[in-house]
Amino acid sequence: MSYLESYAGKAVLVTGGLGFVGSTLSRRLVDLGAHVTVIDSLIPDYGGNLFNIDGYEDRLIVNIADVRDPFAMRALVKGQDVLFNLAGQVSHMDSMADPFTDLEINARSQLSILEACRHENPAVKVVYAGTRQQYGKPRYLPLDEDHLQAPTDVNGVNKLAGEWYHIVYHTAYGLRTTSLRLTNTYGPRQLIKHNRQGFIGWFIRLAVEGREIQLYGDGSQLRDLTYVDDVVDAFLRAGVGEGTDGNVYNLGGAAPISLLELARLIVQIAGRGSVVLAPWPEERKKIDIGDVYSSYARIEAALGWKPVTALADGLARTVAYYVRYLDKYAG
């Protein structure tokens, strides 16, 4: 039985399930025959969007709740086979403006969720969405899982804590936890209302709207990008894969690309928009981390995962999605 077939009939809980990756994962799980419950707080500006499950509303259960609510979590984890734990505050900038909220969601809530699992469902498989941001400014490239974790913003610290609670709950209590450290994920269903949740969706919005994409410096900073379907595939593999308990795995893109090349490619695919270079604002320069991209060798060896969507294809699908549904996301 393939890892995909094994989801048929499984009870699966997805926190952040109305968000970008969470909703894409939930739709896929429904297609695979899983019984899916999504939890989302629908906090404005955070990424949850009911339109993300358009066409699937009657095929999954939507439970609006905040992962900061420990009682809701205790009730909801009961009876689940797999928990995909993707709820989070993902804006680096917001984490600096309001570090306490970031801590509540990305650190404290993770403890609540793990305590809920420990008490109500210790056999559940948990896959957490970590981030390459935990590494901070690279000392070497590509980043592997043994790279020092030295985050440069509050969000990175809290995501680091959130991930390590998961690992500690494996070490101490045997919970079946795994963390995937996501790099820049792109694709349909990402929040593009504002520019505080990553640059790719924002670039695509600007291009689709025929506006200017502004890059800092010379735009030569390298990044790797993973298409959302590939990220979803990694979660699906980790959710049923053997030997993943207590382990962390990087995701990564096929090849790094400079921001300038990426922006130009988006403009080319969209057939509108433009690219301009601007000097670094002082505040942004301080927390800039230069080139950054990750090695996915560990998860490839363990689970056979690798990114398979060509960047041009993924961008074309993403641009087409936002051209069609811009009103559902730009508002």
By CB under 8 A, name the binding residues for a second copy: 96, 99-100, 103, 107-108, 111, 115, 146, 148-154, 156-158, 160-161, 164-165, 167-168, 171-172, 286-287
Q: Comparing C-alpha atoms, which of 178, 82, 63, 86 is closest to residue 121?
A: 82
The nearest distance, CB 299 to a second copy, in angstroms, is 18
Q: Which residues of 163-184 are buried (b: 16+ CB within 10 A; e: fewer)?
A: bbbbbebbeeeebbbbbbbbbb
CA distance 68 to 115: 12
Q: In this complex, which beta carbon is closest to a second copy, that of residue 15 or of residue 106?
A: 106
- The SS3 call for residue 46 is coil
Answer yes or no: are the C-beta atoms of 148 and 135 closer than 8 Å. Answer: yes
The nearest distance, CB 57 to a second copy, in angstroms, is 35
Q: In this complex, which beta carbon is closest to a second copy, that of residue 94 or of residue 153?
A: 153
The nearest distance, CB 21 to a second copy, in angstroms, is 24
Q: In this complex, which beta carbon is closest to a second copy, that of residue 51 or of residue 100?
A: 100
The nearest distance, CB 156 to a second copy, in angstroms, is 7
CA distance 331 to 328: 7
The nearest distance, CB 183 to a second copy, in angstroms, is 19
The nearest distance, CB 147 to a second copy, in angstroms, is 8
Q: In this complex, which beta carbon is closest to a second copy, that of residue 168 or of residue 316?
A: 168
Q: Comparing C-alpha atoms, which of 325, 212, 316 is closest to residue 266?
A: 316
DSSP state of 200: H
Q: In this complex, which beta carbon is closest to a second copy, that of residue 119 or of residue 324?
A: 119
With residue 228 as reference, give the H or E element that holds it. helix 228-240
Instruction: List the structure tokens of 33.
Output: 């025959």
Q: In this complex, which beta carbon is closest to a second copy, that of residue 151 or of residue 188?
A: 151
The nearest distance, CB 139 to a second copy, in angstroms, is 9
Q: In this complex, which beta carbon is closest to a second copy, that of residue 96 or of residue 257?
A: 96
The nearest distance, CB 150 to a second copy, in angstroms, is 7
Q: Which amino acid is at 107?
A: A
The nearest distance, CB 148 to a second copy, in angstroms, is 6
Output the furthest CA–CA distance in the chain (Å, rounded). Answer: 54
The DSSP-derived string for 100-164 is HHHHIIIIIHHHHHHHHHHHH-TT-EEEEEEEGGGGBS-SSSSB-TTS--B-SSHHHHHHHHHHH
Q: Which amino acid is at 202?
A: W
Q: Which amino acid is at 259?
A: L
CA distance 195 to 79: 38
Q: In this complex, which beta carbon is closest to a second copy, that of residue 30 or of residue 160?
A: 160
Give the bridge partners for 277, in sequence order.
215
Q: In this complex, which beta carbon is closest to a second copy, that of residue 165 or of residue 202?
A: 165
